[in-house]
Amino acid sequence: HKPVYKNANFPTDAEGRTYHLGTKEGEVASRILSVGSVSRAQLLSNLLDPPTPGRPLFQRTSSRGFLTITGRYEGVPVSIVSTHMGQPNMDFVVRENRAVIRGQMAIVRLGTCGAVQRPAKLGDLLIAAHGSIAIRRDPDYWTLLDGHESLLHKRNGASSNGAANGTTAATNGSSAAALYGGFTGRKPYVTSLPVTANQQLAALLAAEAARVVGPDRVVEGLNASADSFYSSQGRTGSDFDDRNEGLLADLVAAHPDLVSLEMETFQLLDLARCSKGSIKAIGMCVALAERYSNAFLEYHKLEELEISGGTAALRALVRVPLDGPSEAEADVLK
Ligand code: R1P
Ligand code: URA
């Protein structure tokens, strides 16, 4: 049967289930481990306390493919939520979970990422203890560039070949340039100022990660979250005019403490910052790619690293103090 949604501003169905994650109050714990894939969520659910007879772990997959698993870790209620990829999906996860949980929440993201510079290396756990910056491809750069190049072309006296197109692009581009401040000085990629992570959670996570994998395999620093795996992470190719050849070098020069590059941590930290004190958040990721050497982790090694990272994340989650209604909230555990 098809659900009926009410309230265009924040749609929920007749049972109070959110539109994309499909969960309702009582099904999600206030301590959440957010992971990028369904398979990682299922793998890490094996770390939860064994379910009691007749009461299996709560599991729900929404129509959009978000999987929520609720159980206990060291006796404390936790949920593992598959978040998929990119900032809009992290936005669904943070906002829709916020809507179904009372009291303060903690969210730890365990993802994979590129290691941008040493000391971060393949297989390390990189913690966004210094916060995160967003990197966005600015399409206006190409819009204005079109007009700019066509104008130059026109000024240089080109007439016959493609002149009609050139003139249209020049007109569009120059009116856009007039409106938006011109092409000169424009950059194809825009980076935000950093947002901070919760320092209490960061310290707990760093200590637990060091305990699990050893301190030489844990690196704390700044994260960057990009709006593409490719262009805005400085991956180059010939199919698109991406103008990103200098991106990684520029990032490293501007941010000496930058360690990880992925796609969701910024959104998590930004929303936590705007949550009126109601969300404590941090991101950690397994370095899957070394961007400075071009090495990529042998994929069969990933599972073990996900389990190590997941163990550290769960240990930090159940140790962070939270204000508000007690943990027993997750009705599905009663
Ligand atoms: C890209 O391959 C995906 O991997 C990283 C990026 O942030 C992006 O989501 O994280 P996850 O492994 O958590 O998905
Ligand atoms: N995920 C990313 O977003 N980037 C990488 O380089 C590796 C994993």
Lowest-confidence pick of 137-151, 190-204, 269-283: 137-151
Token representation of residue 284: 């950690």
pLDDT tens across 208-243, in order? 999 999 999 999 999 999 999 999 999 999 999 999
The architecture CATH gives domain 5-137+189-333:
3-Layer(aba) Sandwich (3.40)
Q: What is the pLDDT of residue 324?
A: 80
160 pLDDT tier (thresholds 50, 70, 90): very low
Point out the ligand nearest to the CA of residue 81. 1
Atom 3 of ligand 2 has which residue's CA nearest to it?
Answer: 262
How far away, in angstroms, is 1 Cα from ligand 2 center?
Answer: 38
Query: How confident is the model at residue 179, as a pLDDT?
Result: 60
The answer, yes or no, to whether residue 78 has pLDDT greater than 70, is yes
CA distances from 105 to 26, 33, 260, 286 (A): 14, 11, 25, 24
Decide if the complex's ipTM is over 0.95. Answer: yes
Which pLDDT belongs to residue 45? 98
For the stretch 35-69, pLDDT in tens is 999 999 999 999 999 998 888 899 999 999 999 99
DSSP string for residues in 225-273: EES-SSGGGT---SSS----TTHHHHHHHH-TTEEEEESSHHHHHHHHH
Q: Is 194 in the pocket of ligand 1 (CB under 6 A)?
A: no
Q: Domain segments of the chain: what residues? A: 5-137+189-333, 139-180
What are the two backbone dihedrals, phi and then psi, of residue 108, each rounded to the nearest 5 degrees?
-115, 130
Mean per-residue pLDDT, 64-90: 97
8-state DSSP, 217: G
Beta pairing partners, 60: 68
Protein residue with least CA distance to atom 1, ligand 1? 229
Rounded Cα–Cα distance for residues 306 and 10 (Å): 34
How far, in Å, is the centroid of ligand 2 from the Cα of 48? 27
What SS3 class is residue 189? strand
Does the C-beta of 85 come closer than 6 Å to ligand 1?
yes
Which of 236 and 181 is assigned the larger pLDDT?
236
Q: Is 302 in the pocket of ligand 1 (CB under 6 A)?
A: no
The preferred substitution site among 263, 267, 293 for testing ligand 2, maximizing ligand atoms within 8 Å of CB, is 263
Q: What is the pLDDT of residues 273-292, one digit of tens each?
A: 999 999 999 999 999 999 99
